[in-house]
Structure 1
Amino acid sequence: MTRIRWPDVALAGVVTAGIAWEITLVFTLTPRHVLSALLLTATGVALAWRRIAPLPVALLTAVAFVAPLSYSPAVEIFSFTVAFFVISYSAMAYTPDLRTALTAGSVLLLAASVNSWIVWPGLVNLFIGWIQVGAAFGLGTVMRRVRHTATVNHRRAELAEAAVAAERARIAGTCTTWWPTRSASSCCTPAVAAGC
């Protein structure tokens, strides 16, 4: 895909508006909160490119998820969580190959692990974070497989149509009479001639 799709732009607009609204409720005007707000807002805007550039969007999301924890207290922003889920799904569903999908998925899983461990220390909370990210990855993997199967079936149908057309052309080119003649190149049986 080479163009941004309007549903992605609409999703990015709604999620970015939600992030901005939640930022006004939670953050104060300090340099560390401004940087966090910019990272979170950039992730919301990046949703528009989730299909055409899933790896860079995943990397930006991972940075936006983890970086603010090093210089500001943890803040829960629901709209960013929605963006993280959609981007995790997109990382598995829309990357061009499986290696890139696994790279993006690993980066996002690492970011979720670090965030879970810092914000809510404990193995149970870490596993809950993994389950949430795993659900997005699972949905993305299913959709990736569905698209792959549809593409393979479409190619098979095209090949079958081409084979039928070639066979019809071959029969039409060699069957010029209804009944066998002495020439093998210009005869066919009545059963074959019915398809001519």
Structure 2
Amino acid sequence: MRFETNDAALPPHTSPPSPPRAPRNAWRNRRHVLRRDCHRAHITAVGTMAYYKAVEKVMGGSATTEGFARLFLLPGVAHCGGGQGPDTFDALTAMTDWVTKGEAPGSLTTRSVDSGGNTTATRPVYPFPYVAENTTGGPADDAGSYTPVRSTAEANLTLKRLGSFRSGYETVGNWVHGKWVVSKGKA
């Protein structure tokens, strides 16, 4: 599968790909579980949300997109794990069940695990734009205390693409003759 990017405002190594340009039926026959950690210091989840919203637009809406793709945002999780949020989960079983049984993942249960491998907390994450809210008053470290609630911040979110940097700020990184070279971007 090939993605093209047309976002010249960002360096190539941080620019999200353009939404799918393949025929819609080709995408509908595949399954995509996207996950995004939300506790990065320098790269926010907005780019991933913008990409997902662009896919929805290209594919004809959220109902169509939910038939083949789900985005899970992991609050408090740092890049590829760590952070304050539960960062261990099993997306493979969710994907396998979706492909083999037709059961799309309605949630993923995330876990915090201590150095001995013991689970210290669980929490569900729900497909974007839903968030986990403790509506039962139960323990904050128990996944059973949470239910999916459509995020009021994300309900009517309209994202186009990431904004541009101020002039002279951006840099571009590329491989040149086997070396990673960073140079000044557009002025």
Q: Which TM-score applies when normalising by structure 1?
A: 0.24
Q: Which TM-score applies when normalising by structure 2?
A: 0.24
Report the structure, 1 or 2, having the larger helix content: 1
Q: Which of 1 and 2 has higher RCO (CA within 8 Å, sep 6+)?
A: 2
Report the structure, 1 or 2, having the larger strand content: 2
Which of structures 1 and 2 has the bigger CA Rg? 1
